A = this chain, B = another copy of it.
Amino acid sequence: MNLSLSGELGLIAFLSKRLKIGDDCAYIPFQGKTLLLTVDTSAEGIHFDQSFLSPHEIGYRSLACAISDIAAMAGSPLYALIALSIRETADLEFIDSLYSGMEGAASDFSAEIVGGDTIYGEKLVISVTIVGEAERPVLRSGAKEGELIGVTGSLGGARRGLILLKEDVAGHENLKKRYISPVPRIEEGKRLSSYVSSMIDISDGLLIDLYRLSEASKKGMQIEKERIPIETGATLEDALSGGDDYELLFTIPSEHREKIEGLGGHIIGRVIEAKGIFLDGEKVEPKGYDHFNREV
């Protein structure tokens, strides 16, 4: 092993290499189709907080967030497996509510929960495996110089909603809903799949996920502040650095510009040769990059 690796950056690089992960899902040719496989783990105190999320909401989010990895590769979710670590003090009502949330998301996004495994642990940890399929899986690595950078929907709402939930502010239901009930952009991903050259879902923030596209494609990304679609009630900072929006971020040849608008999406910039992320011409470092507690 490479002993020069150290600390969290080394760890994530090491794990990524070990797990050979460069996309949102593993994609595998199988019987004439492409199977997509992804696992997403969320833990109490890191990824969710029971003080402002009900068990039903925690269950719903865990499945919806995992399904977004399938959407990010232009796939459709098919099956889910749930590995659960629950507190010994959890009662049936809690577990019933948690599962109802998972089943709600499975039903909303046309997946089927087919199995699971449950153990007792010191805190609630949920690992969701999704098996999906794709006609034309889209990777992170295909962006080419001169292409447009596009995004579905609007950004920053989930981060602003999370802040409002944490601070127990009344109202602003539209923002809170962005955090509580994420909507994986499955249909949008599939419609875009014939045109886009690279794609990712915005789980950790626009700048971070743009950085991932940039690294995978070995291209630079130039975006303009005034083009970024900010959710009503959110700030530019929420949109740039807030995660949990689960919109799709993609690159697309400029002749397909109208496909973005047809989805209600927005063009926010252009793929450039110079490496790095540029905001209004200025190179920026992705902020809030969580080196470990995210999918590697």
Contacts and interface: CB of A to CB of B under 8 A. Distances in A.
Interface of A: 1, 5-6, 10-11, 14-15, 18-21, 25-26, 28, 30-33, 35, 37-43, 46-47, 78-79, 81-85, 92-93, 95-96, 99, 113-123, 125, 127, 129, 131, 292-293, 295-296
Nearest to A33: B31
A296 B114 contact: no
B79 A117 contact: no
- 6 closest Cβ pairs, A-B complex: A31-B31, A26-B114, A83-B127, A26-B115, A129-B129, A39-B81
B28 A31 contact: no
Given A14-B92, A37-B81, 17 more contacts: A10-B92, A11-B95, A14-B95, A15-B95, A19-B113, A19-B116, A20-B115, A30-B30, A37-B115, A37-B131, A39-B115, A39-B116, A39-B117, A43-B85, A85-B125, A116-B296, A119-B293
B292 A119 contact: yes
A151 to B, nearest CB: 24
A8 to B, nearest CB: 10
9 contacts: A19-B82, A20-B115, A21-B116, A31-B32, A31-B33, A41-B127, A117-B295, A117-B296, A131-B131
B121 A125 contact: yes
A39 B19 CA distance: 18
A26 B79 contact: yes
B40 A117 contact: yes
A81 B6 contact: no
Given A85-B125, A119-B292, A125-B85, A79 B37 contact: yes
A14 B96 contact: yes
A96 B5 CA distance: 12
Given A85-B125, A129-B129, A28 B117 contact: no
A124 to B, nearest CB: 11
A83 B37 CA distance: 12
B92 A1 contact: yes
